[in-house]
Structure 1
Amino acid sequence: MTRYVSSCFITLLVLFLWRVEDIADACRCFPQHPQQAFCNAEVVIRAKVVGEKAVSNAIKYDIQQIKMFKGCDQVIHAIYTYTTSCSVTLEINKEYLFTGSLNTDGSMGIGMCNFIRYWDDLNGTQKKSLTQRYRTGCACKIIRCSSLPCPVSAPDECLWTDWLLNHGQSGPQAKYSACLMSFDGSCYWYRGMDPSKK
């Protein structure tokens, strides 16, 4: 009997771990530089979350849009995150930077793979880049470099090396740089103000 219970426990444990791994796999996100997130998104806004309600297979967050950096001409009043392994939990009365998709009803859709940050966690260079720099570099390609060698293969590429020192999306290129295109079609990193370098 003890052997049977032990066997059942092991089987259940294996099934549980397989299911957890399956759920985790469903929401693997490719790391993006903030500029890539901006360029890939249909909508980029600064907004304050003012309400929350469960609706069918989603959570609806009512928002007060403060500024639209990219998107449509209309004001967005609601953001939806679908109740899957990729859903996002937001705090009421907090201001965020949201990148996401535009739904047909004029609302916004977000998930874990979108670039979503507390507005106050962004530095001055990132905030300034949202208004102009990121957009002007959308024709460039940012290539993530996580191990050497990682050469640039085309002139329209910028090599993102924050990952070499395990800084990831908190590294200096993510925080203070934008990949911009020069007049000859080549791309280069433009570095904004980093207070730590004064």
Structure 2
Amino acid sequence: MTWSVSSCFITLVVLFLWRIEDIAEACKCAPVHLQQAFCSADVVIRAKVVGVEVVSGNTKYDIQQIKMFKGPDRVIHAVFTSSSSALCGVTLETNKEYLFTGRMSTDGSMHLVMCDFIQYWEDLNGTQKKSLTRRYQSGCDCTIIRCSSLPCPVSAPDECLWTDWLLADGQSGPQAKYSACLKMRDWSCAWYRMAPSKK
């Protein structure tokens, strides 16, 4: 009987750990180009975090919206995320300005998860900031394919290969920082490199 209870306990522990690992796996996010994040998001805003509280298992961050790049025609005063990192919740700092990409729920609230593009505003360069106003939107019909090892074939004319990862530059590479994947006159897509901006 003791052996059966021990076996049952061990099985439950293994199942619990497997479930936790499964949840953690769900939060592994593939890196995305800022243009991809912009195009796939419901909302893209620049905002300052001014307060935080826990509400029904979620963390509510009060924000001061500075600029809406994409989203509803109204001011957003708060963003919500899970209070658990295992459930893809994110942790933000108060009194810091961020660029957020996120989803709108059916009740009209904005939600963030670990896989959204969330970055300190000051860490974006001038070219990225400028592209948020028009350039990225004009490339939303294109698809960016991350290339981390060769060969990386393009399978359709509306695709751009993101090759920063071949040199391990990733999010700091020239395509990530200074380029957008845009549709050309022949309806194919190609990288358009913008001049670095210091603004």
So what's the TM-score if we normalise by structure 2? 0.86
Deviations 1:80-124 (A, max 9, x none): 001232100000010000000012333210010000000000000
SS in 2 for 1:175: helix
Moved more, 128-137 or 14-23: 14-23
- Alignment pair present for 1:58 and 2:75: no
Q: 1:45 Cα shift?
A: 0.3
Letter in 2 for 1:64: Q
Query: In structure 2, what is the equivalent of residue 97 of structure 1?
Result: 99
Secondary structure of 1:188 counterpart = strand
- CA displacement 1:130-170 (0-9 Å, x = unmatched): 00110000000101111101111211111100111112222
1:83-162 matches, within 5 Å, as 83-84=83-84, 85=86, 86-162=88-164
Letter in 2 for 1:114: D
| Matches of 1:64 and 1:105, distance apart in 2 | 20
Residue in 2 that maps onto 1:7 = none
How many angstroms does 1:194 deviate by? 3.6
Letter in 2 for 1:148: L
Identity of aligned residues (%): 73
The Cα offsets for residues 50-90 of structure 1, whole Å up to 9 and x where unpaired, read as: 00000012000000100000011011001000123210000
- Counting only pairs closer than 5 Å after superposition, residues 161-180 of structure 1 correspond to structure 2 as 161-180=163-182
Range 101-110 or range 121-130, more displaced: 101-110
Contact 2:54 2:83 in 1 (8 A): no
The 8 Å contact of residues 49 and 62 in structure 2, kept in 1 or not, is answered as: yes
Unaligned runs of 5+ in 1: 1-9
- Contact in 2 for aligned 1:77/1:107 (Cα 8 Å): no
Structure 2 partner of 1:5:
none
SS at match of 2:156: coil
- Larger mean Cα displacement after TM superposition, 98-107 or 111-120: 98-107
Over residues 13-64 of structure 1, what are the superposed CA-to-partner deviations in whole Å (9 max), with x where a residue is unaligned? 9778656533421211122111000000000000000000000120000001
- AA aligned to 1:108 is M
Q: Distance in 2 between matches of 1:183 and 1:50?
A: 45
Structure 2 portions without partners, runs of 5+ = 1-9
- Cross-structure match for 1:4: none
Comparing 24-33 and 47-56, the one that deviates more: 24-33
